[in-house]
Structures are given as structure tokens and as C-alpha cells.
Amino acid sequence: MPLLSVDDLHVRFRSRKRTIYAVNGVSFDLEPGETLGIVGESGSGKSVSSLAIMGILPRGAQVTGSVTLDGRELMTLRDAQMRAIRGKEVAMVFQDPMTSLNPVLTVGRQLTEVLRKHLDMDRNQARDEAVRLLDRVGIPRARERLGDFPHQFSGGMRQRVMIAMAIACKPRVLIADEPTTALDVTIQAQILELLRELVATERMALILITHDLGVVAGICERTHVMYAGAFVETAATTELFARPRHPYTVGLLQSVPRLDAEAKRRLQPITGAPRNMTSLPDGCAFAPRCRYATDESWNNVPELREIDPGHRVACWNPVPDAELAALDAGEGGGD
């Protein structure tokens, strides 16, 4: 049985004027200790999916589908029951640590609060454990820094504090939503190294949500590519990068400049703009931007189907291998 299982998750935001179809049928399993990447651009629904799993979407959101942890359904839990799971079994790290830490409480106070609430520690135990955690995530002089406020830490150090809070109760699932996007590249490398190391030593499963294909490549065993609220491709990370089959995945890979590119070649952008999410498409959501689109793409929604073991694609016309080789050689047809 998978540790976490998400089945046919839908999220809609309805207002008087319009409905936003943010997540449209997302399903996946997470095994214990697995590292899973979810890649997508802004508005693809990747963050909304994770907030739905945590049960922390605003009240107006309509969420349907099923989320189970160890076979136990989370969607029907009452608030108090969910609070016991959140932070203890499933914890989350956000992009901007400054907005998720309380600016008027010391870091020590915020960290010990988690420990006392979830683990029933007394004041002294919690304090010692907080020091151990800060030390664990690489904050120098941890004991002295318990009395500091969030603004006294740098961006990278604040993200370390957030990670310390997230792992305080030894959660089995850590969801990291763009944990390094706000950080400089050398600091990003520090935080990714820490996450890699934590996952390896603490036996935590990790869901890493990012727009950066490079980040996924370095840390995740499996990767899901998300577009317009749905997964369009999913595979082992090595397989996905070696043999991407969905035109959107191929487009993403072709449109980012690579630091290690051998010769300068023109980027192949994806034409057009991301889909407006105020309606559901009749066919493939990517069809308007896809040069492989056929009548079928416009009229029928493609389901994820397995085309190779463990490699699933939601596309009527997956990019053939021969064509990938041609694209790699820089012979890609126009834009």
C-alpha cells in the first residue's frame, strides 16, 4: 500500500462572475521514502494541489477526490483530526519563509510550540530538541539563536528554520513548494543539499514542487509534469529527461538554455500563452500551443496512458523517438 495516495483530485474556485478550474483530476501514489517532483509553470495547479492535500485551501474552494494516508481518508476528516495530522504526519515548506514565519515571535518560541503541541514535550525538552533541530539543519550557534526573530536571519537561514519546523515531528511526508525559488543560486545549492541529505537519513518521502527542471533533475526519483491543472506526463526522472514524449515536456526542455550547452543554438520556445483556466477544454488543454495537435486533440481529452513501463503520457500524438533525436541535434522545425 502506498504511503500517500491521491485519486482524481479536483479543485475549483467559484465566484459570482466565474469559475477557475485549478486542478482537474490529479492522481498519484507516493511510496515511503520516495522523492517525487511535480513540475509546472505558474497557474498549472501544482501549488493548489499540494494545499488541497494539506487541507489548507481557503473556504471558497471546492475540492473533490480522495487523499489517503496509510489508507486513511483525509478528505472527510474534521478540522481537529486534520490538525493532528498536519505538521505531524505531513509537513510543508513554502517558497517564502518570511511570510510563513510569525515576525513578532522568536524562532525558538515558534519551534518549541510545534514540539509541545504535537509531541507533548515540556518546556526544557522542547528547548533542547529545538536546539538539536536548528543544529541539524545547519544553523550555527543554534542555542544562542533561539532568541532571535525571523528578520534577524538571512533568506537561506530562514528557509533552514522552516525546514527545522517542518521536520520537527519526523513527518513521513514533506511537501516542499518552490523551497528555493526565492534564494540565490549558491544558497539554493545549500538548501537542496540539505533536503537531499534529510530525505536519505530520515526516511522521509518528499514531494518537491518547482518550475525548475534542473532542481527536479538533481533530487527526484520520479517526476510528474503538470499543465493546466492535470498531469500530462509522468515517469522516472532519468527516463523523463532522456525520452520525454509529451509535446509540452519536450517544449519545456527545448526552451530552457542549458549552462552546459556545447554550442550556442537558438531556443525553441513554446508558442502562445498558458491556458486561461476559466473553462474546461473540450480536448487536450495543450492543443492550441502544440504542433502535433490533430482533430482528436481538439475534441477529446487525452487520459494518462502507459506507453512504456512506468512512463505515462496524456497525449494523442506523443513525440516519436526519431523526432526527439532530430530536435536534440538542433534541427527542430520552426517555432
Partner 1 sequence: MTDTSPDALVRVENLRVHFAPAARIFGRAGNDIRAVDGVSFDIRRGETLGLVGESGCGKTTVGRTILRLYEPTDGRILFEDTDVASLSGKDMRRLRRRMQMVFQDPYSSLNPRQNIGNAIAEPLRVHGTEGGDVEARVQQLLEVVGLPADARNRYPHEFSGGQRQRIGLARSLALNPDLIVADEPVSALDVSIQAQIINLLEDLQDEFSLTYLFIAHDLAVVRHISDRIAVMYLGTIVEVAPAADLYDTPLHPYTKALLSAVPIPDPAVETTRERIILHGDMPSPADPPPGCRFHTRCPFVQPTRCADEVPVLRELRSGHTAACHWVEQIERGEITPHDNPFTGDAET
Binding site for partner 1 (CB under 8 A): 41-42, 135, 138, 140, 154, 156-157, 184-190, 192-194, 197, 211-218, 237-238, 241-242, 251-261, 264, 266-271, 273-274, 335
C-alpha pair distances (Å), 134 with each of 89, 117, 121, 164, 166: 20, 18, 17, 6, 11
Least distance to partner 1, CB of residue 67, Å: 28
Is the CB of residue 20 less than 8 Å from the CB of residue 12? yes
Cβ closest to partner 1, residue 122 vs residue 184: 184
- The label of the residue with cell 494541489 reads 49
At 292, is the secondary structure helix, strand, or coil?
A: coil
Q: Least separation, in Å, of the C-beta of 63 and partner 1?
A: 25
DSSP 110-169: HHHHHHHHHH---HHHHHHHHHHHHHHTT-TTHHHHTT--GGGS-HHHHHHHHHHHHHTT
- Minimum CB distance to partner 1 smaller for 85 or for 130: 130
Min dist. Cβ of residue 219 to partner 1 (A) = 8
Alpha-carbon gap, residue 212 to 3, rounded angstroms = 26
- Provide the minimum distance between the beta carbon of 64 and partner 1 in the complex, in angstroms, as a whole number: 28
Q: Which is nearer to partner 1, 67 or 219 (CB)?
A: 219
Q: Which is nearer to partner 1, 156 or 302 (CB)?
A: 156
Coil, strand, or helix at residue 171? coil
CB of 257 to partner 1, least distance (A): 3
For cell 495547479, the residue is 45
Q: Which is nearer to partner 1, 6 or 142 (CB)?
A: 142
What are the distances in angstroms from CA 53 to CA 56, 252, 266?
A: 8, 26, 40
Instruction: Kindly tell me which of 84 and 267 has the beta carbon lying closer to partner 1.
Output: 267
Shortest spacing between CB 138 and partner 1, in angstroms: 5
Q: Choose between 6 and 198: whose C-beta lies nearer to partner 1.
A: 198
Cα separation of 251 and 224, whole Å?
Answer: 15
- CB 27 to partner 1: min, Å: 24
Segment holding 105, helix H or strand E: none
